């Protein structure tokens, strides 16, 4: 049986290949997987995990992480922010029909046409050293009792600073912890604007062995939001890229001959039962040419 | 392929008498130099001298025959206009022949050759007559019957020009006719179109050859023969406005 | 197992080949001077039709690809010899030397006659070849050979980056010989006769001139030194003397085998475009191989580390 019995083009990516692709993405676009406060721009060595970036990234002046505002200290009359980082350090994918990734019991057995995702995330917070409290507390107290712009108690030495410009004390060392996250996902075709893309959709996720359960749930809730709204949309792949753009010359020459050639997924289930299909440790895509004279 | 500029020699096909006193296309006058010496040549067209040259006839001249195209002389003259001192010189041997012919054009020419030292001693004055020992040739192309007349004595001969035979045509043939006192010999000759009759004069002669009966088989020249063919277009003219 | 597997159906492969083939055009002209005559050609062709068959033995068979002549002009130029009357010599008695008469010529120069009939609609040829699919790596840092044999044949633009390129690489080729039909001989003879005749006035003048040159057909054959069978002579000219057949064959071979890939894949291959100042994400493509099956073309490759 030929690969293209039911479509014009066929593309299959083995999970070993997709994991290499993931590694390339993590190394060439580290800012998608690393988030930290500006303090770490000068102090990347203090991050929880050293970021491995491709040389092209630094050569192009691309950031190693996405800069975040410091974590605000709640109730502090004088705004104070804490340095932190969130890093997704390991990422592996396992297509159905394999057991490379052992899903936690909460996610059950990997269903057909699904892929398992393993991700390790590390969070680090820059706790204030004791000495900083001795400096900051008098300021906090003074601000707490002040009224509007009138100085109180003659404390004219309170620094004049913007209300929303927090004090961010530097850190010497982050306190880090790492969690392992498992997720079940699937692929689907869909449009973004006028173009057809292969999109990754989240079916469920689980952070392992975190107590209490409510805290686990909250973190899972947040991780789901990060994945669904942050990371996964940025990993959508155009349909042409799925077939390594092998039809580029065909499309160019078609244009010269007055033909508009584009690509579309083979219809399900009329042509193929699943498209894209996740089976045999592979992601398979069945694609047809659409020719408009 | 670059085309050459080619002109049809229309004068070849016009119908008119051929005269020794007025040399035109298809006629040739041959002068026989019997004595060594220096001569002067005058070529006239319409009475005006268009070419003048010195002829040196020596005992050991190099050339036995020199044919001069009178139609080409004007060009020569024009080229040499500013170097009169040099002049044109021809060197011939005793008993050599100098031929005068007209390759193209409608002009009629006469030739005069005189001793340099004794200009009154004219060796040749074609406008007057062809001297004994000289020859007059005519190449006839139009088929038909021609009459040759020596106007000096009234002798006549008939020349029949046959149409050419495509299968057996030999170019470059000529028939010799002697022009004696009072008679041509032979009196009737037959040639093929494109061939020549050469009259050898034994007495002074004024020769005239004219078509008296065009061959019936030969249709009159068509209009297109008078067209100039295959001429490359020249540069555009710029007319003053 | 290869990291990536791509398959292209036979129908899609055929479409790709058709579009590539459609861009093949060839035009050339030459004129060779043989003194009394010139021979040349002015031709332009393209390819049409043909069948594409991917075969189980890892080959591609292209059959009956039509060479369509947009222009197939045969240029024949004759330098018509001088047409003159008079001349000849007569013997004279001593001491007068033999006298030679001047020649008077019909034209002021040697007229040239040139014809260039177009036999595009009368000549049909086919090309068939069997080739393999070849994957080659285009390294943008390696300079092109000089002279570049693909300079005039390249319809797929040179890439600005490294690429894996897949070519249809013909191993053997069958190319029909030029075979001019019988009518061509008459057309050439008629055209030349008309061209020569147009130079000559009619009536007895023409009779005279034709007698001098011995008839136009004979003149043409004599000048061109051609046998009775003009078609065969012409075919031989194109097949052998002009070397056009070999030339076309070589061009078609080069066009497909080395100048124009049917498919190409960039290396590294961009999977995520540049965005907001971030560099694009590219993956290295390694160990690319291609093979033909009975029903499709299959490419396998790895993602580099």
The string of pLDDT tens digits covering residues A268-280 is: 999 999 999 999 9
CB contact under 8 A, C109 and B5: yes
**Residue B27, both tokens:** 């006629």
- Separation of alpha carbons C153 and C151, rounded Å: 6
In this complex, which chains have at least 3 CB pairs below 8 Å with chain A?
C
Tens of pLDDT, residues C48-58: 999 999 999 99
Q: What is the mean pLDDT of chain A?
A: 89
Tally A–C CB contacts below 8 A.
Answer: 135
8 A C-beta contact, residue A286 and residue A271: yes
Count of domains observed in chain C: 1
3-state secondary structure of A269: coil
Q: What is the mean pLDDT of chain B?
A: 82
Show the DSSP H helices in chain C as ranges. 10-22, 182-199, 203-213, 216-224, 230-236, 244-254
Pairing of strands A66-67, A34-36: parallel
Q: What is the pLDDT of residue C213?
A: 76
**Residue B140, both tokens:** 């006839």
Residue C63 pLDDT > 60: yes
Show the DSSP H helices in chain B as ranges. 73-79
Residue C132 pLDDT > 50: yes
- Separation of alpha carbons A293 and A261, rounded Å: 8
Q: How much is the average pLDDT of C1-25?
A: 93
**Residue C266, both tokens:** 């960039």
Tens of pLDDT, residues A73-94: 988 877 889 999 999 999 999 9
- As a whole-number percent, the residues of chain B with pLDDT over 70 amount to 80
3-state secondary structure of C206: helix
- Separation of alpha carbons B99 and C30, rounded Å: 46
CB contact under 8 A, A246 and C8: yes
Interface test with C, best of A95, A253, A286 (most C CBs within 10 A): A253
- Separation of alpha carbons A4 and A59, rounded Å: 42
In this complex, which chains have at least 3 CB pairs below 8 Å with chain C?
A, B
CA-nearest residue to C199 within chain B is B229
Q: How much is the average pLDDT of C81-102?
A: 89
Q: How many CA atoms lie within 13 A of B92 on its CB side?
A: 28
Residue B140 Cα, gap to closest chain C Cα (Å): 8
Contact flag for A and B (3+ C-beta pairs < 8 Å):
no
Contact flag for B and C (3+ C-beta pairs < 8 Å):
yes
CB contact under 8 A, C207 and B164: yes
Residue A14 Cα, gap to closest chain C Cα (Å): 5
**Which residues in chain C have their CB less than 8 angstroms from residue A286's CB?**
none
Cα B216 to chain centroid distance, Å, stands at 27
**Which of A60, A243, A289 is nearest residue C6 as measured by Cβ atoms?**
A243
Tens of pLDDT, residues B1-59: 445 566 788 888 887 899 999 999 999 999 999 988 999 999 999 888 999 999 999 87
Give C291's pLDDT tier (boundaries 50, 70, 90): very high
**Which residues in chain C have their CB less than 8 angstroms from residue A254's CB?**
19
**Which residues in chain C have their CB less than 8 angstroms from residue B99's CB?**
99, 101-102
Give B239's pLDDT tier (boundaries 50, 70, 90): very low
Q: What is the pLDDT of residue B217?
A: 47
CB contact under 8 A, C85 and B165: no
Q: Which of A159-163, A197-201, B68-72, B136-140 has the lowest mean pLDDT?
A: A159-163
- As a whole-number percent, the residues of chain C with pLDDT over 70 amount to 98
Interface test with C, best of A1, A16, A18, A24 (most C CBs within 10 A): A24
CB contact under 8 A, A8 and C12: yes
CA-nearest residue to A4 within chain C is C9
Q: What is the ipTM of this complex?
A: 0.88
Please state the domain extents for chain B. Answer: 1-20+132-231, 22-128
- Separation of alpha carbons C136 and C165, rounded Å: 5
Q: What is the pLDDT of residue B24?
A: 95
Q: What is the pLDDT of residue B225?
A: 30
Domain that holds residue C82: 4-303
């Amino acid at each position: 049986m030929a690969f293209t019995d039911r479509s014009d083009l066929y593309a299959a990516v083995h999970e070993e290949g997709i994991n290499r692709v993931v590694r390339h993405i993590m190394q060439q676009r580290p800012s998608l997987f690393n988030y930290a406060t500006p303090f770490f721009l000068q102090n990347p060595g203090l991050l929880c995990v050293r970021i491995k970036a491709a040389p092209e990234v630094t050569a192009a002046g691309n950031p190693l992480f996405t800069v975040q505002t410091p974590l605000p200290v709640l109730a502090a009359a004088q705004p104070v922010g804490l340095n932190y980082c969130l890093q997704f350090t390991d990422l592996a994918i396992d297509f159905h029909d394999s057991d490379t990734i052992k899903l936690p019991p909460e996610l059950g057995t990997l269903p057909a046409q699904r892929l398992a995702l393993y991700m390790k995330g590390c969070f680090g917070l820059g706790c204030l050293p004791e000495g900083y409290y001795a400096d900051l507390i008098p300021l906090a107290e003074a601000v707490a009792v002040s009224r509007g712009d009138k100085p109180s108690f003659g404390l004219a030495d309170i620094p004049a600073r913007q209300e929303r410009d927090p004090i961010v004390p530097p850190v010497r060392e982050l306190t880090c912890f790492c969690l392992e996250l498992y997720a079940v996902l699937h692929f689907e075709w869909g449009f973004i604007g006028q173009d057809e893309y292969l999109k990754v959709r989240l079916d469920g996720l689980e952070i392992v062995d975190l107590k209490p359960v409510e805290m686990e749930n909250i973190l899972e809730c947040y991780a789901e939001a990060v994945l669904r709204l942050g990371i996964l949309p940025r990993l959508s792949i155009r349909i042409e890229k799925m077939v390594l753009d092998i039809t580029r010359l065909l499309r160019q020459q078609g244009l010269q001959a007055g033909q508009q050639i584009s690509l579309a997924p083979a219809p399900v289930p009329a042509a193929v039962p699943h498209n894209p299909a996740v089976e045999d440790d592979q992601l398979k895509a069945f694609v047809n040419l659409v020719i408009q004279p | 392929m670059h085309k050459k500029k080619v002109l049809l020699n229309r004068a070849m096909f016009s119908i008119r008498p051929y005269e020794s006193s007025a040399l035109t296309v298809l006629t040739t006058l041959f002068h026989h130099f019997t004595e060594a010496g220096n001569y002067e040549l005058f070529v006239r067209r319409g009475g005006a001298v268009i070419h003048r040259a010195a002829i040196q006839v020596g005992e050991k001249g190099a050339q036995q025959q020199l044919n001069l195209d009178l139609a080409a002389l004007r060009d020569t003259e024009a080229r040499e206009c500013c170097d009169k001192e040099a002049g044109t010189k021809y060197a011939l041997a005793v008993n050599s022949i100098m031929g005068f012919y007209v390759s193209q054009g409608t002009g009629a020419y006469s030739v005069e050759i005189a001793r340099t030292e004794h200009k009154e001693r004219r060796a040749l004055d074609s406008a007057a007559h062809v001297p004994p020992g000289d020859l007059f040739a005519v190449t006839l192309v139009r088929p038909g019957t021609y009459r040759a007349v020596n106007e000096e004595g009234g002798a006549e001969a008939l020349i029949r020009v046959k149409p050419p035979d495509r299968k057996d045509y030999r170019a470059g043939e000529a028939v010799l006719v002697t022009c004696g006192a009072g008679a041509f010999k032979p009196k009737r000759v037959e040639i093929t179109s494109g061939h020549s009759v050469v009259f050898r004069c034994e007495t002074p002669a004024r020769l005239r050859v004219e078509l008296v009966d065009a061959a019936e088989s030969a249709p009159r020249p068509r209009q297109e023969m008078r067209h100039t063919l295959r001429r490359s277009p020249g540069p555009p003219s710029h007319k003053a406005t | 197992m290869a990291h990536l597997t791509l398959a292209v159906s036979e129908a899609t492969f055929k479409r790709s080949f058709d579009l590539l083939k459609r861009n093949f055009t060839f035009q050339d002209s030459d004129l060779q001077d043989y003194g009394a005559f010139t021979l040349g050609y002015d031709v332009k062709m393209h390819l049409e039709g043909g069948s594409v068959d991917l075969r189980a033995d890892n080959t591609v068979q292209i059959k009956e690809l039509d060479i369509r002549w947009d222009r197939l002009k045969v240029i024949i130029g004759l330098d018509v010899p001088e047409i003159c009357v008079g001349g000849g010599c007569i013997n004279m008695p001593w001491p007068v030397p033999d006298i030679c008469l001047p020649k008077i010529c019909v034209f002021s120069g040697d007229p040239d006659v040139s014809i260039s009939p177009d036999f595009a609609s009368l000549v049909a040829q086919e090309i068939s070849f069997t080739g393999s699919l070849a994957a080659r790596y285009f390294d943008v840092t390696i300079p092109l050979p000089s002279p570049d044999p693909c300079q005039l044949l390249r319809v797929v633009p040179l890439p600005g980056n490294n690429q894996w390129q897949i070519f249809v690489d013909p191993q053997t080729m069958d190319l029909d010989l030029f075979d001019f039909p019988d009518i061509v001989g008459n057309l050439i003879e008629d055209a030349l006769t008309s061209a020569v005749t147009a130079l000559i006035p009619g009536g007895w003048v023409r009779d005279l001139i034709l007698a001098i040159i011995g008839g136009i057909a004979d003149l043409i054959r004599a000048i061109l030194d051609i046998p009775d069978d003009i078609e065969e002579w012409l075919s031989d000219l194109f097949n052998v003397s002009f070397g056009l057949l070999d030339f076309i064959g070589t061009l078609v071979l080069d066009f497909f085998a080395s100048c124009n890939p049917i498919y190409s894949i960039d290396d590294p291959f961009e999977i995520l475009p540049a965005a907001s100042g971030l560099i694009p994400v590219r993956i290295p493509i390694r160990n690319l191989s291609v093979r033909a099956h009975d029903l499709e073309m299959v490419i396998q490759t790895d993602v580099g580390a």
